[in-house]
Structure 1
Amino acid sequence: MKHNRILVVVGYFPYPCHFGGAIDVYGRIEALNKLGYIVDMVCSCKAMPLDEDFTAMQLITENIYITERNNRVTDLIFSQPLQAQSRKSLKKVKLEKVYDFVILESESTAPILENETLKVSKIALRVHNDESKYFFQLGNSSSNIFKKLYYYLDALKFRRFSKRVFDKADRLWFISKDEYNVFAEQEQWAQKSFHLPSASVQLPAQQKLGGRNVLFIGSLFMPNNINAIKWYLDNVHSKLINDFPDYSFVVVGSTGDVKEEDVLSMLSGYSNVEVHFNVPDLAPFYAEAALFVNPMQFGTGVKLKSLNAINNGLPLVSTHVGSEGVGLIDKEMFLKADSPHDFYAAIVRIFSAKPEANAAMVKKAQDFLNNNDYLTLLKKETDDLIKQA
């Protein structure tokens, strides 16, 4: 029996969309709305969302349930990853509706499956990353010994935990084409694996592409992003200052649990750097930038910051880590650079090119990324899931 109702379970409140994962979640809920589904949402949050943010999500959902997320040192002794253990309150939220299927936004929301009030026919898991590899990479990028140990510990726990959640799910929606190819080759998951690209919340934009502003947008509480910023500043930034007096590096991001003064302290020794925290609208920063850089050295899966930059009309210079899992063609759709020399040279190439040439590269990348009709793909998946119910 079709109820035309879907439950989306998220490990954070997805609005405002300050980072790539939130954009993907928000865009999917918005798309489900357009397809005629009633969407309820459960969020596991460390703090209550602001009233205006809650109101914004109510425009595309019917019922919103907020559960408390608690990180406790004692939770490290459990076999579940801390990311899931800290969201165990998902087991207790009282759900009153019957759902065609539930969408788990990553394995960390799997505790909802132990909720006795959850009435659902099918389970779809959004695979944002290979979590075990992702947390191992976070461990590599962190300079804090205690955080490093925590990341490595969760990486080991996710090896088993992710497999159990994969087995329970009726559909695995991979955001990364590369990770989809890996898991789809494994017999037990081949029939349930599907590559579902990132949802976009806007149409591709065009920018004037003038000036010398180099932009980076990312979560400033994530160690791999902080590592990327420091790598860029230590290896590329000073040479650009010497060669282009009007150059500046603009960093924009959400801080999460990190104090703004700690980020400012880290960047205090560098000139020609602007920092903006927790801004409600990213559009002005895209509009004033000449290009976007993603100098990430550690990470797995699709880096949505790169896709969002292209969709917002900026040329992309990225390491292979920052551009993997999508299929962008180097020198045609973006510029790949892994060494300091190549990264500097790629930025200079964009600075030196005519705006029309840079815009043509962006347009080719946008056409490639938007080749798939997201609504059509999502409708096919939801229809197939409901038929199986």
Structure 2
Amino acid sequence: MKLHVVSFQVPYPPDYGGLIDVYYKLKALKEAGCSVVLHTYRYGMEEQPALLDVADDVHYYERFTGWRSMFSFLPYIVYSRRNRLLLKYLCADDSPILFEGLHTCYFLSHPLLKDRAKWVRMHNIEHDYYRFLGKSCSSWREKCYYYLEAWKLKHYERILLHADKVFAITHADAACFIRKYPPVLTYCLPCFFDDTKVNRATDAPVGMGNYVLYHGNLSVLENIRVVDYILEHLVPGIDVDIQVVIAGKNPDKCLQDKISRLPNVVLVANPSLEEMEGLIALARIHLLLTFQNTGIKLKLIYALMKGRGHCLVNPMMIPDAGFEELCTIVDGEEAQVAAIRELYHVSPEPEALEWRYQALKEMGYDNRVTLILR
């Protein structure tokens, strides 16, 4: 089988949620014998030769960023990707096309692609995501941008009626798309991720680190808000001998200063893949909170699959039924502080970790099983 995949961004290195799903999906397709032609937008990124390990051919396109792309009824994230060279290459044969997110759907309804098999991967409900970003902003200019983009995305979403299939990332999202667009075949396709070197109970090193871990992209508004909450509401209530590690990409100066003033909080900025895997493997508690219940949080999958500590989450972090059995769900700062104090001194049993790993695989979080099912 030959497949065109249109990615919203260069999916290498796969260092945050959406790119992780795209990259490891390409890898799984390649391993399953699929011939992949990757189309991707590079803004601020060089060509990545490593992508030829997961795709047979790679085409790069410029994205038309800047104010000129703002003045359109189409969402900025869509209109700025209107490169007609993409349409030319998509028309080179009659192979199916997988569009990664609404971002890449500018040509989904084009007459030249009318008779093609067209599939759309939805990483979340985009207008909800942008509305939540607007709520998290302090700048009125940023609020205006995110709220306007959310409004545009809500109306633009009807473009999905031109797709043959929609692959939602959670059952909740799939139910939403089925209700809104009944003519389109919609499936829940669990996220793809790096399922190698999984730290199961049977192959993990002896011992655990003496820390609680929060990790994520520290330049993303949602994650900054969570870190502020941890520093201001949870850290003051826990024992001073319980170390909290905040790890992730590109923390700003303000966040670095806040953390430096707290004696039992350590910042690990821009860790390598190996460093991050080590932190995840040895954390006593994975403190995974969110105030934005959109899509799937891949950090939760990684913590459950590759970590051996407890996963302490708030209700918004749970993407689908089944996860409540794998995590400790606690809401409210007092209850979260109490849970940290209690869980820190109790290590999960090896049998419980093995059961957690197998339960995730049975829920579909297995790249090979995912491809067989679809």
Q: What TM bracket, shorter-length normalisation?
A: 0.7 to 0.9
Note the 1:226-375 alignment, pairs <5 A. 226-240=224-238, 243-245=239-241, 247-255=242-250, 260-261=252-253, 263-265=255-257, 267-271=259-263, 272-277=265-270, 279-281=272-274, 282-314=276-308, 315-325=310-320, 327-329=322-324, 332-353=325-346, 355-357=347-349, 359-371=350-362, 372=364, 374-375=367-368
| TM superposition shift of 1:135 | 0.8
Q: Is residue 123–residue 169 contact of structure 2 (8 Å, CA) maintained in 1?
A: yes
Secondary structure in 2 matching 1:77 = coil
Q: Is residue 100–residue 120 contact of structure 1 (8 Å, CA) maintained in 2?
A: no
- The answer to whether residue 208 in structure 2 is matched with residue 210 in structure 1 is yes
Q: What are the superposed Cα offsets for residues 196-218 of structure 1, whole Å, 9 maximum, x if unpaired?
A: 11113214323456233222221
Separation in 2, partners of 1:40, 1:266 = 45
Secondary structure in 1 matching 2:55 = coil
Gap change, CA 1:339 and 1:118, over 3 Å in 2 = same
Q: What are the superposed Cα offsets for residues 273-322 of structure 1, whole Å, 9 maximum, x if unpaired?
A: 22321524321222332221112112412111111211112421111122
Separation in 1, partners of 2:244, 2:96 = 44
| TM superposition shift of 1:76 | 2.5
Gap change, CA 1:78 and 1:217, over 3 Å in 2 = same
Gap change, CA 1:61 and 1:115, over 3 Å in 2 = farther
Note the 1:39-58 alignment, pairs <5 A. 39-49=36-46, 54-58=48-52
Q: What percentage of aligned pairs have identical amino acids?
A: 23
Aligned counterpart, 1:157: 152
> Which shows bigger deviation, 277-286 or 344-353?
277-286
- The answer to whether residue 196 in structure 2 is matched with residue 199 in structure 1 is no
Q: Is residue 252–residue 275 contact of structure 1 (8 Å, CA) maintained in 2?
A: yes
Aligned counterpart, 2:30: 33
Gap change, CA 1:376 and 1:71, over 3 Å in 2 = same
Letter in 2 for 1:6: L
- The answer to whether residue 81 in structure 2 is matched with residue 87 in structure 1 is yes
| TM superposition shift of 1:376 | 4.2
Name stretches of at least 5 consecutive residues in structure 2 with no aligned partner. Answer: none
Aligned length: 362
- Structure 1 segments, 4+ long, off by >4 Å, are 114-120
| TM superposition shift of 1:126 | 0.7
Q: Is residue 163–residue 184 contact of structure 2 (8 Å, CA) maintained in 1?
A: no
Secondary structure in 1 matching 2:182 = helix
| TM superposition shift of 1:171 | 0.7
Separation in 1, partners of 2:370, 2:108 = 25
- The answer to whether residue 60 in structure 2 is matched with residue 66 in structure 1 is yes
Letter in 2 for 1:236: L
With structure 2 as the length reference, what TM-score do the two structures score? Answer: 0.88
Q: Is residue 108–residue 163 contact of structure 2 (8 Å, CA) maintained in 1?
A: no
Name stretches of at least 5 consecutive residues in structure 1 with no aligned partner. Answer: 382-389
Q: Is residue 302–residue 324 contact of structure 1 (8 Å, CA) maintained in 2?
A: yes
Aligned counterpart, 2:136: 141
Q: What are the superposed Cα offsets for residues 95-145 of structure 1, whole Å, 9 maximum, x if unpaired?
A: 274252111110011124478987982111111101111111111122222
Q: Is residue 134–residue 146 contact of structure 2 (8 Å, CA) maintained in 1?
A: yes
Which of the pair has the greater relative contact order for Cα pairs under 8 Å at 6+ separation?
A: 1
Separation in 2, partners of 1:228, 1:253 = 13
> Which shows bigger deviation, 172-181 or 372-381?
372-381
Q: What are the superposed Cα offsets for residues 225-263 of structure 1, whole Å, 9 maximum, x if unpaired?
A: 1111111111101222xx141x322222233xxx74454
Aligned counterpart, 1:100: 95
- The answer to whether residue 11 in structure 2 is matched with residue 18 in structure 1 is no
| TM superposition shift of 1:18 | 1.1
Gap change, CA 1:305 and 1:121, over 3 Å in 2 = same
| TM superposition shift of 1:146 | 1.6
Letter in 1 for 2:211: N
Letter in 2 for 1:154: E
Secondary structure in 2 matching 1:18 = coil
Gap change, CA 1:361 and 1:191, over 3 Å in 2 = farther
